[in-house]
Amino acid sequence: MSQSYGKTRWKRFALVMVPSIAATAAIGVSLANSALAASFSVSGQQFKVTVDDLQGEGFSQFGSVDAETNKTPHPVAVSAFDHAKLKNLCQSVVTDLGPVLGKWTLVLRAGQSDDVAKQVDAQQLLIDLNQLNADAEFKNINIGQDASTLKGSAVQKLQDDGGKLPSGAQGFAQAAESAHLQHVQQTAWATSAGTFTLNGLKLNINKGSGDGVECY
Protein backbone atom coordinates (compact mmCIF):
# COMPACT_ATOMS: atom_id res chain seq x y z
CA MET A 1 0.00 0.00 0.00
CA SER A 2 1.34 3.39 -0.90
CA GLN A 3 1.85 6.29 1.45
CA SER A 4 -1.14 8.42 2.42
CA TYR A 5 -0.62 11.91 1.02
CA GLY A 6 -3.33 13.96 2.68
CA LYS A 7 -4.81 16.48 0.25
CA THR A 8 -3.53 16.19 -3.31
CA ARG A 9 -4.56 18.48 -6.18
CA TRP A 10 -3.91 17.80 -9.86
CA LYS A 11 -4.96 20.35 -12.46
CA ARG A 12 -6.16 17.69 -14.85
CA PHE A 13 -7.74 14.42 -13.85
CA ALA A 14 -5.82 12.81 -16.72
CA LEU A 15 -2.92 12.70 -14.26
CA VAL A 16 -5.10 10.92 -11.74
CA MET A 17 -5.90 8.34 -14.40
CA VAL A 18 -2.26 7.22 -14.71
CA PRO A 19 -2.64 4.46 -12.09
CA SER A 20 -5.79 3.23 -13.81
CA ILE A 21 -4.03 3.22 -17.17
CA ALA A 22 -1.33 1.08 -15.60
CA ALA A 23 -4.02 -1.27 -14.36
CA THR A 24 -5.75 -1.34 -17.72
CA ALA A 25 -2.50 -2.23 -19.48
CA ALA A 26 -2.71 -5.69 -17.92
CA ILE A 27 -6.32 -6.28 -18.93
CA GLY A 28 -5.42 -8.19 -22.10
CA VAL A 29 -3.69 -10.83 -19.99
CA SER A 30 -6.57 -10.77 -17.52
CA LEU A 31 -9.11 -11.40 -20.28
CA ALA A 32 -7.13 -14.36 -21.57
CA ASN A 33 -7.02 -15.82 -18.07
CA SER A 34 -10.62 -14.78 -17.19
CA ALA A 35 -9.14 -12.96 -14.22
CA LEU A 36 -11.51 -10.00 -14.45
CA ALA A 37 -15.26 -10.17 -14.63
CA ALA A 38 -16.98 -7.45 -16.64
CA SER A 39 -18.78 -5.16 -14.23
CA PHE A 40 -21.53 -4.31 -16.73
CA SER A 41 -22.94 -5.57 -19.99
CA VAL A 42 -23.22 -2.45 -22.12
CA SER A 43 -25.27 -1.54 -25.20
CA GLY A 44 -22.23 -0.80 -27.36
CA GLN A 45 -22.75 2.98 -27.22
CA GLN A 46 -20.72 5.40 -25.19
CA PHE A 47 -22.28 8.48 -23.65
CA LYS A 48 -21.01 11.86 -22.50
CA VAL A 49 -21.35 13.33 -19.01
CA THR A 50 -20.64 16.77 -17.61
CA VAL A 51 -20.91 17.92 -14.00
CA ASP A 52 -20.14 21.39 -12.67
CA ASP A 53 -19.28 20.12 -9.20
CA LEU A 54 -19.06 16.64 -7.64
CA GLN A 55 -18.54 16.08 -3.93
CA GLY A 56 -17.86 12.39 -3.29
CA GLU A 57 -17.20 10.32 -0.20
CA GLY A 58 -15.51 6.92 -0.18
CA PHE A 59 -13.75 7.13 -3.55
CA SER A 60 -11.90 4.26 -5.25
CA GLN A 61 -10.72 3.53 -8.79
CA PHE A 62 -9.30 0.52 -10.62
CA GLY A 63 -9.06 -1.04 -14.08
CA SER A 64 -11.67 -3.47 -15.34
CA VAL A 65 -13.49 -4.64 -18.47
CA ASP A 66 -17.02 -4.07 -19.74
CA ALA A 67 -18.54 -6.33 -22.36
CA GLU A 68 -21.21 -5.46 -24.90
CA THR A 69 -24.22 -7.69 -25.34
CA ASN A 70 -22.29 -9.25 -28.25
CA LYS A 71 -19.39 -9.90 -25.83
CA THR A 72 -16.98 -7.33 -27.28
CA PRO A 73 -14.74 -6.28 -24.35
CA HIS A 74 -13.94 -2.66 -23.48
CA PRO A 75 -11.13 -1.75 -21.04
CA VAL A 76 -12.40 0.84 -18.55
CA ALA A 77 -11.45 2.64 -15.39
CA VAL A 78 -14.07 2.05 -12.71
CA SER A 79 -14.66 5.07 -10.46
CA ALA A 80 -16.64 4.21 -7.32
CA PHE A 81 -18.23 6.61 -4.80
CA ASP A 82 -20.04 5.46 -1.66
CA HIS A 83 -21.97 8.76 -1.76
CA ALA A 84 -21.88 11.71 -4.14
CA LYS A 85 -23.62 15.04 -4.67
CA LEU A 86 -23.58 16.36 -8.24
CA LYS A 87 -24.36 19.91 -9.33
CA ASN A 88 -25.70 20.46 -12.86
CA LEU A 89 -25.47 16.93 -14.23
CA CYS A 90 -25.79 16.41 -17.99
CA GLN A 91 -25.80 13.05 -19.77
CA SER A 92 -26.14 12.69 -23.54
CA VAL A 93 -26.16 9.76 -25.96
CA VAL A 94 -26.35 9.88 -29.76
CA THR A 95 -28.42 7.42 -31.80
CA ASP A 96 -28.16 7.13 -35.58
CA LEU A 97 -31.64 6.38 -36.96
CA GLY A 98 -30.46 5.87 -40.52
CA PRO A 99 -30.35 7.92 -43.74
CA VAL A 100 -33.91 9.21 -43.46
CA LEU A 101 -34.07 10.44 -39.87
CA GLY A 102 -30.34 10.90 -39.25
CA LYS A 103 -28.74 11.38 -35.83
CA TRP A 104 -30.68 12.27 -32.69
CA THR A 105 -29.34 12.98 -29.20
CA LEU A 106 -31.06 12.14 -25.93
CA VAL A 107 -30.06 14.69 -23.27
CA LEU A 108 -30.78 14.33 -19.56
CA ARG A 109 -30.18 17.18 -17.11
CA ALA A 110 -30.71 17.40 -13.36
CA GLY A 111 -29.52 19.11 -10.19
CA GLN A 112 -29.21 22.60 -11.67
CA SER A 113 -29.19 24.37 -8.32
CA ASP A 114 -26.73 25.93 -5.88
CA ASP A 115 -28.85 24.42 -3.09
CA VAL A 116 -27.15 21.12 -2.18
CA ALA A 117 -30.51 19.65 -1.16
CA LYS A 118 -31.75 20.11 -4.75
CA GLN A 119 -28.71 18.61 -6.46
CA VAL A 120 -28.36 15.06 -7.76
CA ASP A 121 -27.76 12.54 -4.98
CA ALA A 122 -26.14 9.16 -5.70
CA GLN A 123 -25.56 6.27 -3.34
CA GLN A 124 -23.15 3.48 -4.31
CA LEU A 125 -22.24 5.18 -7.59
CA LEU A 126 -20.18 3.21 -10.13
CA ILE A 127 -18.93 4.77 -13.37
CA ASP A 128 -17.14 2.78 -16.08
CA LEU A 129 -15.25 5.38 -18.11
CA ASN A 130 -12.48 5.64 -20.66
CA GLN A 131 -11.91 9.40 -20.70
CA LEU A 132 -12.23 12.13 -18.09
CA ASN A 133 -11.07 15.73 -17.62
CA ALA A 134 -11.61 17.75 -14.44
CA ASP A 135 -10.03 19.77 -11.68
CA ALA A 136 -9.74 17.38 -8.73
CA GLU A 137 -8.85 17.40 -5.05
CA PHE A 138 -8.55 14.27 -2.92
CA LYS A 139 -8.34 13.82 0.85
CA ASN A 140 -6.18 11.03 2.31
CA ILE A 141 -5.46 9.32 -0.99
CA ASN A 142 -3.62 6.02 -1.36
CA ILE A 143 -2.21 5.29 -4.82
CA GLY A 144 -1.00 1.80 -5.60
CA GLN A 145 -2.94 -0.41 -3.23
CA ASP A 146 -4.23 -3.79 -4.35
CA ALA A 147 -7.77 -3.48 -5.69
CA SER A 148 -8.81 -6.61 -3.81
CA THR A 149 -8.31 -4.66 -0.56
CA LEU A 150 -10.70 -1.82 -1.50
CA LYS A 151 -13.53 -1.15 0.94
CA GLY A 152 -16.78 0.77 0.84
CA SER A 153 -20.43 0.31 -0.03
CA ALA A 154 -19.96 1.03 -3.76
CA VAL A 155 -17.28 -1.64 -4.11
CA GLN A 156 -19.44 -4.02 -2.09
CA LYS A 157 -22.36 -3.36 -4.45
CA LEU A 158 -20.16 -4.25 -7.42
CA GLN A 159 -19.23 -7.55 -5.77
CA ASP A 160 -22.82 -8.27 -4.75
CA ASP A 161 -23.84 -7.78 -8.41
CA GLY A 162 -21.31 -10.39 -9.52
CA GLY A 163 -18.31 -8.20 -10.32
CA LYS A 164 -14.83 -9.15 -9.19
CA LEU A 165 -12.01 -6.96 -7.92
CA PRO A 166 -8.67 -7.61 -9.63
CA SER A 167 -5.64 -8.51 -7.54
CA GLY A 168 -1.90 -8.90 -7.89
CA ALA A 169 -0.33 -7.51 -11.07
CA GLN A 170 -3.78 -6.67 -12.46
CA GLY A 171 -4.96 -5.08 -9.21
CA PHE A 172 -3.38 -1.60 -9.22
CA ALA A 173 -5.89 0.74 -7.58
CA GLN A 174 -6.28 3.99 -5.68
CA ALA A 175 -8.61 5.09 -2.92
CA ALA A 176 -9.38 8.29 -1.04
CA GLU A 177 -11.50 9.35 1.89
CA SER A 178 -13.17 11.98 -0.29
CA ALA A 179 -12.94 13.48 -3.76
CA HIS A 180 -13.94 16.92 -5.02
CA LEU A 181 -14.18 17.24 -8.81
CA GLN A 182 -15.05 20.40 -10.73
CA HIS A 183 -15.66 21.11 -14.44
CA VAL A 184 -16.07 17.40 -15.18
CA GLN A 185 -16.19 16.10 -18.75
CA GLN A 186 -16.15 12.36 -19.27
CA THR A 187 -16.99 9.61 -21.72
CA ALA A 188 -18.38 6.43 -20.20
CA TRP A 189 -19.72 3.03 -21.15
CA ALA A 190 -21.96 2.49 -18.12
CA THR A 191 -23.17 4.02 -14.86
CA SER A 192 -24.82 2.24 -11.95
CA ALA A 193 -26.05 3.37 -8.54
CA GLY A 194 -27.86 1.84 -5.61
CA THR A 195 -29.98 5.01 -5.43
CA PHE A 196 -29.93 7.86 -8.00
CA THR A 197 -32.04 10.88 -7.03
CA LEU A 198 -32.42 13.24 -9.99
CA ASN A 199 -33.85 16.48 -8.64
CA GLY A 200 -35.18 18.81 -11.34
CA LEU A 201 -34.98 16.14 -14.02
CA LYS A 202 -35.27 17.35 -17.63
CA LEU A 203 -35.10 14.99 -20.62
CA ASN A 204 -35.07 16.04 -24.27
CA ILE A 205 -34.51 14.35 -27.62
CA ASN A 206 -32.79 16.76 -29.99
CA LYS A 207 -32.02 16.38 -33.69
CA GLY A 208 -28.34 16.22 -34.58
CA SER A 209 -25.17 15.67 -32.56
CA GLY A 210 -21.95 17.43 -31.61
CA ASP A 211 -21.36 20.84 -30.02
CA GLY A 212 -24.52 22.61 -28.95
CA VAL A 213 -26.52 19.38 -28.95
CA GLU A 214 -24.58 16.96 -26.75
CA CYS A 215 -23.36 17.83 -23.24
CA TYR A 216 -20.00 18.87 -24.72
Predicted local confidence at residue 152, as pLDDT: 96
Full-model pTM: 0.82
The predicted-structure confidence for 134-169, as pLDDT tens digits, reads as follows 999 999 999 999 999 999 999 999 889 888 888 876
Whole-angstrom distance, CA of residue 170 vs CA of residue 148: 10
Is residue 7 scored above 70 in pLDDT? no
Distance CA 175, CA 16 (A): 11
The whole-number pLDDT of residue 41 equals: 64
Indicate the pLDDT class of residue 44, thresholds 50, 70 and 90: confident
Give CA–CA dist 179/161, Å, rounded: 24
Per-residue pLDDT, averaged over 91-111, amounts to: 95
Distances (CA, A) of 7 to 108, 140, 147, 153: 33, 6, 21, 22
Give the pLDDT score at 38: 44
